[in-house]
Amino acid sequence: MLFLLEMDIKEKINLISRFAEEIITLEDLEFLLKSGESLNHYIGFEISGKIHLGTGLVCMQKIKDFADAGVKVHILLADYHTWINDKLGGNLEIIKKTAVGYFKEGLSIAYQCLGGNPKDLNFILASDFYHNNDKFWLTLIEVGKNTTLARMKRSITIMGRKEGEEIDFAKLLYPAMQVADIFSGGFHFSQAGIDQRKANVIARDAAKQLKISPLKIGKEIIKPVAVHHHLLLGLDKPAASAEDEEKQTSMKMSKSKPDSAVFIHDSEDEIKRKIKKAYCPEGEIEFNPIIDWAGYLIFPCENKIIVPRKPEHGGNLTFNNIDELKKMFKNKELHPEDLKNFVAEYLIELLKPVREHFEKGEPKKMLGELEELIKRG
């Protein structure tokens, strides 16, 4: 019996940590799972535009991993944060409407594509959560009291801003809000992209100082466990001058670079077009978005893939994991075009339900309105 329980925990750890960039810390993760308490997960989303595959598939896959591990998952629709960060024209009403309309719906259906049950997703609108909620506001102040101004200033990179950039004062509130979200919501797990690392680390550093809404297991005050998922590479070629780490960040998928991202409801032709024109040097497995996408979009869902190839190119290829694929690609035994075609077809099939959902009726209208809004800037 005890043995079975151990196995179960190991399995849960594997689920929660698979395909993640970083877990802070693995020991804390294990501790949480072993506690036997009912555990809460959270991830926050800015309502910044259309949902791309990084959000719709990578984030949602990780959320599903949590749900499959028996953790209660929460999605914070961060409308106030979005407002602070001047997204969607900085119009709070539009942001709220988009959050509870388009965004919630898009995430739910993407989750479904991955085999999840949208009923498991607990959506929280930040402005609702904060309303008449002293616990949040007091925690916000308390986080502020336990963090230096310099650190907050450095943390604006979590908003996609550059360190040292000229900002209005409200933006300094943002990182503290994100941290306060975790504690006032009672979330044991804070999931975020690796670019959000600073906020989660502040949360962990402040955790033991907090009195208003400390995170507890039994009587013990604990730090939230940070799970940082991978950020997909954009399909563009990397900036010519950039090297290594800088190159990596410059390659990050971005909504502002039109064709660097595929959106969850893109048409078949759009998906094909974008992937066809994607940067994909033969034999290169590091700075290669298509390799990256195969690894983080396909293998989390599949134990085995078959890449179709014409007989004259050597016939079909079977891979059991990304490492096998990378190895062949590196040796130029797998041609970029064959891989591209496979990835495109796979995504087209996987995203079919989302596409169909946004093809008609109210969802189509919501998407149209959002696109109009983005076009107007």
**List of residues contacting RNA (CB under 7 A):** 166, 236-237, 259, 276-282, 309-310, 313-314, 335-338, 340
Neighbours of 352 (CB within 10 A): 12
Q: What is the DSSP string of 212-239?
A: SS--EETTEE-PPEEEEE--PBPSSPPP
Q: Smaller CB distance to RNA: residue 246 or 282?
A: 282
- Cβ–Cβ under 8 Å, residues 370 and 102: yes
Which tokens in the block code for residue 371? 């696109």
The minimum distance between CB 321 and RNA, in angstroms, equals 21
Q: Smaller CB distance to RNA: residue 35 or 91?
A: 91
The minimum distance between CB 147 and RNA, in angstroms, equals 25
The minimum distance between CB 279 and RNA, in angstroms, equals 4
The minimum distance between CB 240 and RNA, in angstroms, equals 7
Q: Smaller CB distance to RNA: residue 16 or 290?
A: 290
Q: Smaller CB distance to RNA: residue 286 or 356?
A: 286
The minimum distance between CB 193 and RNA, in angstroms, equals 24
Which tokens in the block code for residue 300? 């989390």
Residues 53 and 350: their CA atoms lie apart, in Å, by 11
The minimum distance between CB 258 and RNA, in angstroms, equals 7
Q: Smaller CB distance to RNA: residue 135 or 330?
A: 330
For residue 25, cis peptide bond before it (omega within 30 degrees of 0): yes
Neighbours of 212 (CB within 10 A): 17
Q: Smaller CB distance to RNA: residue 281 or 368?
A: 281
For residue 289, the one-letter residue type is P
- Cβ–Cβ under 8 Å, residues 303 and 253: no
Query: Of all helices (H) and strands (E), which one includes residue 226?
Result: strand 225-229
Q: What are phi and psi of 144, to 5 degrees?
A: -60, -40
